């Protein structure tokens, strides 16, 4: 049995893949991660979705993920409004909250992920988000994603209006041909930007 968040799950193929890709993310050299993340940011910033977006829901990268803090700083300089997820652990969901100061407005949230602090109450309505950037442990060529198994993003994406683009950010080693045993509530992203 593997512990997944607070849930115990059997060693199904998705759990095995999750462990494999988390190990790969964690073992990547920091310098390589930042170099590849800069290349991903360059690709992201050249997309029509990014260029047309006024309000972007980023994610606060951690644990080897594609680095987003520099992206957020650059996006702010370009006049984008930046939102980050604020986890409501007791409700098993997150809400998007606008962040003005990336240095001072974030605190450690559940799971050790940076999130808007308690005093920030500038919640963003889903229909006011123009672009959502989505983390993943792995993706497949059909844009399905494998998360960390808590289900926060699946619940959020299932409520998101379908016309809002969702872009996964990933390193090339995080993409496989097909993810096994997709659950009914898993939600694919519009596409994946990788390097």
Summarised one tens digit per residue, pLDDT across range 18-55 is 999 999 999 999 999 999 999 999 999 999 999 999 99
Summarised one tens digit per residue, pLDDT across range 90-99 is 888 999 999 9
Q: Are 97 and 114 spatial neighbours (Cβ–Cβ below 8 Å)?
A: no
Q: What is the pLDDT of residue 111?
A: 87
Q: How far is CA 111 from CA 25, 75, 93, in A?
A: 17, 26, 13
Residue 120 has pLDDT above 80, yes or no: no
Q: Are 106 and 69 spatial neighbours (Cβ–Cβ below 8 Å)?
A: no
Where do the domains of the chain lie, and which CATH numbers do they carry?
Answer: 30-194 (3.40.50.10420)
Q: What is the pLDDT of residue 10?
A: 52
Q: Are 153 and 169 spatial neighbours (Cβ–Cβ below 8 Å)?
A: no
Q: What is the pLDDT of residue 2?
A: 37
Residue 3 has pLDDT above 50, yes or no: no
Query: Measured between alpha carbons, how far is 157 from 166 in angstroms, rounded to an integer?
Result: 8
Mean of the per-residue pLDDT values for the chain?
Answer: 91
Residue 181 has pLDDT above 70, yes or no: no
Which of 7-16, 28-37, 112-121 shows the lowest per-residue confidence on average (mean pLDDT)? Answer: 7-16
Mean pLDDT computed over 122-127: 94
State the pLDDT confidence band at 89, using cuts at 50, 70 and 90. confident
Place of tokens 């997944």: 4
Mean pLDDT computed over 177-186: 75
Residue 7 has pLDDT above 50, yes or no: no
Q: Higher pLDDT residue, 150 or 118?
A: 150
Q: Are 114 and 86 spatial neighbours (Cβ–Cβ below 8 Å)?
A: no
């Amino acid at each position: 049995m593997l512990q997944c968040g607070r849930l115990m799950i059997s060693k199904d193929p998705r759990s095995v893949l999750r462990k494999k890709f988390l190990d790969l993310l964690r073992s990547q050299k920091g310098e390589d991660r930042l170099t590849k993340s800069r290349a991903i940011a360059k690709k992201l910033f050249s997309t029509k979705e990014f260029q047309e977006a006024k309000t972007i829901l980023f994610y606060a990268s951690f644990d080897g993920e594609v680095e987003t803090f520099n992206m957020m700083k650059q996006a702010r300089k370009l006049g984008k409004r930046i939102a980050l997820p604020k986890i409501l652990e007791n409700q098993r969901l997150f809400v998007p909250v606008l962040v003005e100061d990336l240095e001072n407005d974030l605190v450690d949230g559940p799971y050790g992920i940076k999130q808007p602090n308690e005093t920030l109450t500038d919640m963003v309505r889903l229909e006011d988000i123009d672009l959502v950037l989505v983390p993943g442990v792995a993706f497949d060529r059909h844009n399905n994603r494998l998360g960390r198994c808590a289900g926060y993003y699946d619940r959020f994406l299932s409520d998101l209006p379908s016309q809002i683009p969702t872009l996964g950010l990933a390193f090339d080693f995080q993409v496989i041909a097909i993810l096994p045993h997709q659950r009914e509530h898993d939600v694919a992203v519009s596409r994946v930007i990788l390097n």
